């Protein structure tokens, strides 16, 4: 008589899965599978075997974009801000250093106990002599990384990797009457690419640099130029490693990015910082109004800010090698600029490069 009754719920209720959980599990599992495929492609590349281009279908891109990478990146950002106990700092940072091959001898502060949290460790500064700035060439690398692609822009299409392109206008965004950009006064019928070229006889060039998690995470000015305008595109935060860039067409147009545009001595110049998974935070040092991966902004929109005003008609002057901004983790820098036809890149696709080394010159 004193036995207690055990009430059981129907099996269907116990194992009921919400659509969100199914979506996250499916998308996360597929992302893991893609990571494995990327690893296999990297091994083939190291062996010198040419990898054929195989683009993702629309449903694969939609599935990948359904993973809440923006939310996960915000959570990762908060985790990075948590102060680690002194005794835990060296083991945690040492594991990261070993995993991604970080060279701490270049860091301004080599003592791992100095970095209170992961964010400070990611944003570590380098010793002044670690990255000498090349003075002989007009354009230098703004960051450490790997050269994914470079060359002339053709037919309003830019190559993110060999054989995979994206639209120049989709990437930079449409022209508006309020933008203080140094576009040429070209007839309306001219293409978007032709409207960017301000001087007769010039061409439009591009260069894509991928920053791996173990690279130095700050980026600098690649030349002497003036920044007149900033355009922020809230978007997805998919991985931008070379394997995914080869797989998803217009990957850089899907992802969150900050486009800085202005001019240098040869005309139009732009630098775009592209966000990626766990890299929702893109910081531009002179732009205090910029807030990336924020819930207040929705995907598919963009917001503009002009640095030209009545008091500052020249914009923001940047010197070659000057600190410009930083990522919270590795990501991608895209340069698109105007130059004379005799401009030459001093690069090879796939090569490793460091901030301050030459990209190209006249």
Residues designated as active site: 144, 220, 331
- Which residues 6+ apart lie within 8 Å of 202 measured at CB? 266, 267, 338, 339, 340, 341
Spatial separation of the C-alpha atoms in residues 201 and 338, rounded to whole Å = 10
Spatial separation of the C-alpha atoms in residues 283 and 275, rounded to whole Å = 11
Residue 37 is encoded by which pair of tokens? 């495929």
CB environment 93-120: b (16+ within 10 A), e (fewer): beeebeeeebeeebbeeeebeebeebbe
Type and span of the H or E element at 158: strand 157-161
230, 260 contact by CB (below 8 A): yes
Helix (H, G, I), strand (E, B) or coil at 52: coil
Report CA torsion sign: 244, 247, 251, 252. positive
CB atoms within 10 A of CB 140: 25
DSSP 93: H
DSSP 126: B
List Cα–Cα distances, 348 to 147, 162, 360, in angstroms: 7, 12, 11
Helix (H, G, I), strand (E, B) or coil at 148: strand
Compute φ and ψ for 346, nearest 5 degrees: -110, 60
Report CA torsion sign: 276, 348, 162, 156. positive
Strands 358-361 and 344-345 come out as antiparallel
Spatial separation of the C-alpha atoms in residues 184 and 173, rounded to whole Å = 16
């Amino acid at each position: 008589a004193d036995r207690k009754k055990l009430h059981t719920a129907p099996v269907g209720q116990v194992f009921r899965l919400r659509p969100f959980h199914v979506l996250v599990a499916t998308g996360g599992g597929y992302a893991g599978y893609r990571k494995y495929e990327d690893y296999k492609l990297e091994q083939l590349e190291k062996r010198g075997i040419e990898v054929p281009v195989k683009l993702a279908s629309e449903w694969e891109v939609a599935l990948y974009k359904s993973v809440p990478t923006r939310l996960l990146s915000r959570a990762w950002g908060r985790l990075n801000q948590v102060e680690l106990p002194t005794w835990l700092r060296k083991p945690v940072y040492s594991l990261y250093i070993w995993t991604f091959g970080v060279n701490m001898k270049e860091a301004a502060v080599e003592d791992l106990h100095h970095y209170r949290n992961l964010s400070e460790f990611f944003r570590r500064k380098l010793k002044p002599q670690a990255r000498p700035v090349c003075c002989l060439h007009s354009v230098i690398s703004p960051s450490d990384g790997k050269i994914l692609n470079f060359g002339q822009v053709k037919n309003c299409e830019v190559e993110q990797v060999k054989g995979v392109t994206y639209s120049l206008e989709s990437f930079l965004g449409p022209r508006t009457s309020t933008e203080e950009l140094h576009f040429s006064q070209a007839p309306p019928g001219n293409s978007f690419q032709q409207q960017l070229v301000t001087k007769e006889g010039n061409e439009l060039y591009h260069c894509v640099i991928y920053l791996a998690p173990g690279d130095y995470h700050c980026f600098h000015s690649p030349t002497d130029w003036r920044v007149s305008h900033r355009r922020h595109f809230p978007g997805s935060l998919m991985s931008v490693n070379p394997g995914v860039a080869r797989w998803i067409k217009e990957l850089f147009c899907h992802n969150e990015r900050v486009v800085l545009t202005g001019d240098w001595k040869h005309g139009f110049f732009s630098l775009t910082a592209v966000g990626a998974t766990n890299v929702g935070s893109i910081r531009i040092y002179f732009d205090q109004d910029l807030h990336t991966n924020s819930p207040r902004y929705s995907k598919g929109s963009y917001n503009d800010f002009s640095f030209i005003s009545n008091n500052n008609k020249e914009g923001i002057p940047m010197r070659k090698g000057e600190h410009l901004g930083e990522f919270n983790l590795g990501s991608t820098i895209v340069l698109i600029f105007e130059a004379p036809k005799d401009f030459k890149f001093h690069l090879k696709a796939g090569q490793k490069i460091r901030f301050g080394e030459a990209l190209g010159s006249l």
